[in-house]
Structure 1
Amino acid sequence: MNRIERYLGGVVLSHSLLVMLVLMVIFSFFEFMNQVGKLTDSYTLGLGAFYTLLKVPVYSYEVFPIVLLIGTLMGLGSLANQSELTVLRVTGWSIKRILWAVLKTAFLMWLVMAIIGEFVAPKSEAYAKKMRAEALNQSFSIGSSNGLWVKDDYQYIHVGRVISSQDLRNIEIYDLKDGKVSGLIQAKQAHYDGVWTFKKVKYINLKAVQPSEQMPKYYDYATVHYDEMTRSFPLKPEDLTNLDIETRYLSGWDLYHYVEFLQENDLDASSYLLSFWRKVATPLVVLAMIAVVFPLIFGSMRQVSVGQRIFLGVLIGMGFHLINQLIGNVSVVYQLPIVLAAIAPSIALLLFSWYWLRRVD
C-alpha cells in the first residue's frame, strides 16, 4: 500500500472498530441482563459476566459485515464531507482505484475475523454453553427426549440421554452383519477417559439356526453380562459438544465434517450445508458491502450527517441480512439448491452496486 491507500484504510479501520465497539457494548449489555435473570446459587453474577464475555467473539464475527458497511460509510462519508475524496478525484484517483484501496483493508479485516470465526468463536461458544449448563445442572438439549441416533456400516447406536460430552446414559448398540442385526449391546452408562468405557452392560448375541432344509429358520440368542467393557464409538466428546451448538457458530471444518457425517447416516444436512456455504461466501458478502457504499458516497457529495449515514448503513445491512436469512431458510424447507441460496443475495447486491456505480462514475 502507498501512503494514500494506508490513509484510506486507516480511516475505514478506525471507524469500523468504533462501530464494533459500540455494538459489542450494546450486545453485551443485553446479554448480561439476560443472564442476570438466570442467576442461582451456583450460577453466580461472576459466571454470568464471564458467559457474556465469552459471547463477544461470537457476536463480533456475526455482525462483522454490517460493521464493515457502517464503518466504511461513516469513514468515507467523513472524507467526502471534508472534500478529501474530491481532491483525490482531481489528482487522478478514479472511483475504482479508491474502491480497490478500501478493499485491501476490508479483506485484511475479514482475514482477522475469519480466524476468530474459525478458531476462537466456536470454542468460546462451546465453553460458554458447557460452563453455564454445568452451573445450572442442565444436560445437553439433544438428550432431552428422543436421544441421539448414529449409524455406520457395522452398527446402529442409540443414546438415550447425553448428560455431558463425556457422560452418556442408556446406550443401545445394534451390531450388523450382512445388513442384518447380529447382536445387541445395552449399557446403563458410558464414560469417556481417553476411550469410551461402558458400564452395566448386557450383550445379546443373535444366531440364525436352521436344523434342516425342510424346517424354517429361527434365531437363538445368548446373553452375557459385564460390569465394564471398552468399545469403539464413532462420536468423540468434542463431536457431542458441537452437536449442541447452533450451526452458524460452528467452524467451517466442523460444518464440513458434520455434513459428511449426516449424509453418511442418511440424515438431513441442509442446515449445516447452508451454514457451510455461507461461511465460504463471506468474502463475497464483504465485497458486496463495500461496493454498495461507493455509489452512496459518490452519488451525493453534499453534506450528510453522521446519524443519517448510520441509519442508512443499518437499513441496508439489516435488509440484506433479513433477505439472506429468508432465502436460505426457504431453500432448506423446499429443498432448493443450497449453494445458490447462500451466494445469490451477495451476487445480487454486488451486481446492483456495480450497475449503480457505473451510472455514478
Structure 2
Amino acid sequence: MKTVRRLLYRDISSAVVFVALAFLSLFFFIDFVDALDKVGRPGFTIGSALLSGLLDMPGHFYELFPIAVLIGAIYAMSRLAQSSEFTILRTGGLGPGRALALLAGLGAAFAIVTFVIGDYVAPASERQAVAVQSRTQGGRELGRAGAWLKDRRSTPEGERNISVNVQRTTADGRLQGIRIFEFDRDGRLLTRVGAESGRVTDGGHWQLAQATVTHWPTDVAGARLVDEKHAQLEWPTSLTGDVVAAAVLPVSTMSTIELWRYSMHLTDQEQAAQRHAILFWKKALYPFACLVMMGLALPFAYLHARSGGVSLKVFGGILLGISFVLLNNVASHLGLLRNWTPWVVAATPSLLYLLMSLAAFTWLVRYR
C-alpha cells in the first residue's frame, strides 16, 4: 500500500503544483500589467509594480488552490485510467473505499496548506501591499463616507453611545479626519470631538492631535455651545487597534480569528454583522474545499479511456471549478440579502459538490 500511496501522491501533487504555478504566473502577469498604469506617479516605479504583484500572489494562491487541486487531480487520475494503471491497481486490491481514503489523506494535506496560506501568509502580504500603496499615494482614502465605528461607555450619568468616523489613514498608520459623536441613551448629542489626526495606543486610549471638543447643552433654554481646543488629547475608548484595523483595512487582510472577533464586536455594538459572519464561516470552511475537490476528481479514474481523452476531462474539471466558485459567491450574496444563517451559507456549496461527487463515485463503482 505504501507503493500505491507514493504513486498516487506523487502524480497528483506534481500535477497540482504545475497547475497552481500556471495560474499564479497568469495572475501575476495580469496584476503587473495593471500596475504599470501607475508607474510615473510620485514614488511608484517598476519595482513597486513588481512588488505589488508579488504581494498579491499569496491571496491568489489561497483563492485558486482548491481549483488547482481539482484540475491537477483530474489530470493525474485520468492519465492513470487512460494508461490502465488504475485498472491494474484495482485488480491488485485497491478497492473504492481504500482509494477514497487515500485521496482524502492527500486532500487533508492540501487543506492544511490552504489554511496556513489563507490565515497567515496571505493576510500578512495583503497588509504589506496596503502599506506599499499607502507609501506611494501618501495615505489611503476610506471612501467618501470614511470608516465608521461604534462604541459604548458607562458613566455615572448613564450609558453613552459613541460613533466614530475616520476619513483616511497615513502611510505610518495614523488616522486622519477623525470625528467622534457622543450620545446619551435617548439619542441626544452631548459631545462632538473633531481632530486632524490621531493614533491608537495601548491601554484603551487614542492620542488625538489638534482636537476640538464641542459640548452640547442638555438644557437648551439660555444655553450655548462650549468649544475646547486641545493640541493633544487622550480619548478613552474600548476600540482597540485590531478593531480599528478591521474597519479601515480590506477584509482580505484579516485572518479567521480576526474576522470572528470583529463580527462579535459588531454584534455587541448592535451593528450589522451578517457580512463579516458569512466571511468568517467561508474562511473557516474554505480549506475543506480541497477535500471536496479530491472527491470530485476520483470518479474520473473510473471512467473508461474511450469515454473521452484527458484534455476533455481536464476541461470538465475547469468547468466544475468555475461553477464551484460561482456558486460560492452567489450563495454569499444571497445569504447577505436574505439574512440566512451564516454557517449554512458557507457550507452549502461544499456540501452540494461533495454529495454530487459521492453520488457519481457510487454510480460508477456499481454500474461501470
Same fold, TM exceeding 0.5? yes
Equivalent residue number for residue 230 of structure 1 = 234
C-alpha deviation, 1:123, in angstroms: 1.3
Cα deviation digits, residues 80-138 of structure 1 (max 9, x gap) = 12211111111111122112112111211210221111011011012102212321334
2:209 matches 1:199 = yes
Equivalent residue number for residue 111 of structure 2 = 110
Instruction: Tell me if the contact between 1:152 and 1:265 (Cα under 8 Å) persists in the aligned partners.
Output: yes
Cα distance in structure 2, aligned partners of 1:218 and 1:103: 76
Report the RMSD for the aligned CA atoms in angstroms. 2.5
Equivalent residue number for residue 337 of structure 1 = 341
Instruction: Tell me if the contact between 2:148 and 2:247 (Cα under 8 Å) persists in the aligned partners.
Output: no
Cα distance in structure 1, aligned partners of 2:306 and 2:252: 40
Cα distance in structure 2, aligned partners of 1:313 and 1:279: 23
Equivalent residue number for residue 213 of structure 1 = none
Cα deviation digits, residues 254-308 of structure 1 (max 9, x gap) = 2112211222232222221111111222244222211122222203344854432
- Structure 2 CA distance for partners of 1:217 and 1:129, relative to 1, 3 Å: same
Equivalent residue number for residue 156 of structure 2 = none
Note the 1:19-34 alignment, pairs <5 A. 19-34=19-34
SS for the counterpart of 1:43 is: coil
Cα distance in structure 1, aligned partners of 2:166 and 2:307: 64
Instruction: Tell me if the contact between 2:140 and 2:168 (Cα under 8 Å) persists in the aligned partners.
Output: yes
C-alpha deviation, 1:22, in angstroms: 0.7
Equivalent residue number for residue 262 of structure 1 = 266
Alignment-mate amino acid for residue 157 of structure 1: S
Cα distance in structure 2, aligned partners of 1:218 and 1:334: 50
Equivalent residue number for residue 11 of structure 2 = 11
2:351 to 339, 347, 351: 347
How many percent of aligned residue pairs carry the same amino acid? 22
Instruction: Tell me if the contact between 1:35 and 1:48 (Cα under 8 Å) persists in the aligned partners.
Output: yes
How does the TM-score come out when normalised to structure 1? 0.88
2:190 matches 1:172 = no
How does the TM-score come out when normalised to structure 2? 0.87
2:133 matches 1:123 = no
SS for the counterpart of 1:145 is: coil
Equivalent residue number for residue 197 of structure 2 = 189
- Structure 2 CA distance for partners of 1:344 and 1:191, relative to 1, 3 Å: closer
Instruction: Tell me if the contact between 1:122 and 1:250 (Cα under 8 Å) persists in the aligned partners.
Output: yes
- Structure 2 CA distance for partners of 1:10 and 1:224, relative to 1, 3 Å: same
- Structure 2 CA distance for partners of 1:288 and 1:96, relative to 1, 3 Å: same
Alignment-mate amino acid for residue 105 of structure 1: L
Note the 1:1-361 alignment, pairs <5 A. 2-40=2-40, 41-140=42-141, 142=142, 144-154=143-153, 155-164=161-170, 166-175=173-182, 181-192=189-200, 196-205=206-215, 208=218, 222-247=226-251, 250-302=254-306, 304-361=308-365
Instruction: Tell me if the contact between 1:81 and 1:303 (Cα under 8 Å) persists in the aligned partners.
Output: no
- Structure 2 CA distance for partners of 1:133 and 1:70, relative to 1, 3 Å: same
- Structure 2 CA distance for partners of 1:283 and 1:322, relative to 1, 3 Å: same
Alignment-mate amino acid for residue 313 of structure 1: G
SS for the counterpart of 2:195 is: strand
